[in-house]
Amino acid sequence: MHERANIQHQHLRYNPLRGSWVLVSAHRMKRPWKGQVEKQSEDEVPRHDPTNPLCPGNQRANGEVNPEYDSTFLFQNDFPALQPDAPDPGARDHPLFQTKAARGVCKVMCFHPWSDITLPLMELSDIKRVIDKWAELIEELGTTYPWVQIFENKGATMGCSNPHPHCQVWASSFLPNEPSLADRFQREYLKEHGEVMLVQYAKMETDRRERVVVENGDWVAVVPYWATWPFQTLLLPRRHVLRLCDLTTKEREGLASIMKRLLTKYDNLFETSFPYSMGWHGAPTGPSLQEDMGHWQLHAHYYPPLLRSATVRKFMVGYEMLALEQRDLTPEQAAQRLRNLPEEHYKTRAGREGVVGEKGE
C-alpha cells in the first residue's frame, strides 16, 4: 500500500544493479511542452539501396563488397573503436593521470538482407537466427575477451547512421563501467541475501504484476522499478542463466517470441518505428570463465528516449547530468500503457485493413 499511496508524489527509487538512485516526479507530466520536437522518422526506406553499405552485394567504405547474404551477416567494423593490436600507453606518472591499455575487436551484424524491415516485423525464425548468432559470438569472442557487448542503436534519434536492421558487437580487454557495477552489486546481493538478485527480482515482478509488460514460459519483460528512461524495459529469463550461449533451444525460441511482442508494443505506442538503445549483459567471459559467476543473471536492457509522442523525447540534461537521474512518468504507468497495447503491429494491421478495404470496394 505504501508504494501505491505515494505513486503520484515525488520520491526516490533505488537501482540495485548500479547502487544509484532515480528521482520519480510523475506530476511533471502535466506541464506544457514547448521544447524541441524531433523530426518524425522516415518510413519510406527502400528494400535495397545501392548506396547503402550494409545491403547485400554493396561496397563498403573500405572497398570490400558484401556477399549476397540472405540471413544474418557479420563483418569487422570499418571504423572500429577498439583494435586488437593497439599499443600500450605506458605506466601512469600520477594518480590523477591514469591510463590503461584498451584492446579489442568491433564487429557489425546485419539482422536481415532487407533495409525496410526491423526486428518486430521479422519472422520468428529470422529473429531466432539473430539470437543464435549472438550466442555464437559470446562463446567465440568470450574465449579471449573479458567482456563482449552486444548492442543495437535503433533509429536516427539514437545516433544510428544507417537505416538497415543491424547491431554491433564490441569485445574488449577490460570490463567496462556498467557491467563492472552490475558485477559488483550482484555479487554483494548474493552474499548478503543468499539469492541471485535478478532471479529473485523476476519472480517478485511476476507475482506483483504492476510492471510486467509481456511474458511467456521462459521470459518476462518489465519496466523496472528503478527505470530512468520513460518506457525503459528489462528482459529477464525465468531460469538462472549466466550467458546467451547457455540458453536452450526452447529458451531461444521463447526469446524470439517475447522480443517480437515487446518491440511490436513499442512501435504501437506512438505508431512509429520506436527508437532505442538496447544491449545484453551476462556474466563476464575470458578469465571469468574459470571463476564462479553464479551471482550473475543474463538480462537485456532497452532504453527508448520517447516520452510524450513520436516527436517528443526525454532529455538527460541539467539536473540529470549534474545531480541525479529523474523521470516524469512512473514505471507502473509506463508498464500499464505498454501492456494494454495490441500485439499486432500497426503496419501489419494497416496493410491487412487496406486489403480488406480494397476488396470491399
C-alpha cell at 200: 529473485
* Helix, strand, or coil (residue 315): coil
Is 76 known to sit in a ligand binding site? no
Q: Is 6 annotated as a binding residue?
A: no
Task: Tell me whether residue 204 is annotated as binding.
Answer: no
Torsion sign (Cα): 325, 329, 331, 337: negative
31 appears as a binding residue in the annotation: yes
**Is 159 annotated in some ligand binding site?**
yes
State how far the Cα of 266 lies from the Cα of 274, in Å rounded to an integer.
Answer: 6
Exposure of 168 by Cβ count < 10 A (0-12 exposed, 13-18 middle, 19+ buried)?
middle
CA dihedral over 231, 235, 236, 237, signed as positive or negative: positive
162 annotated as belonging to a binding site for a ligand: no
Asked whether residue 326 is marked as a ligand-binding residue, the answer is: yes
Annotation-wise, does 325 bind a ligand?
Answer: no
> Residue 160 annotated as binding?
yes
Q: Is 319 annotated as a binding residue?
A: yes
Contact 302, 204 (CB under 8 A): no
| Residue 225 is labelled as binding a ligand | no
Residues with catalytic function: 166
Alpha carbon 214 to its chain's center? 15
Cell numbers given for 89: 600507453
The residues, ordered by sequence, that sit 6+ positions from 150 with a Cβ below 8 Å of its Cβ are 134, 137, 138, 167, 168, 169, 244, 279, 280
78 is in an annotated binding site: yes
Q: For residues 181-209, b (16+ Cβ closer than 10 Å) or e, as one string?
A: bbbebbbebbeeeeebbbbebbeebeeee
How far from the centroid of its chain's Cα atoms is residue 165's Cα? 14
To the question of whether residue 28 is assigned a binding role by annotation, the answer is: yes
Query: Residue positions in the annotated binding site for UDP-alpha-D-glucose?
Result: 28-31, 61, 77-78, 153, 159-161, 168, 314-315, 319-320, 326
Query: Residue positions in the annotated binding site?
Result: 28-31, 61, 77-78, 153, 159-161, 168, 314-315, 319-320, 326
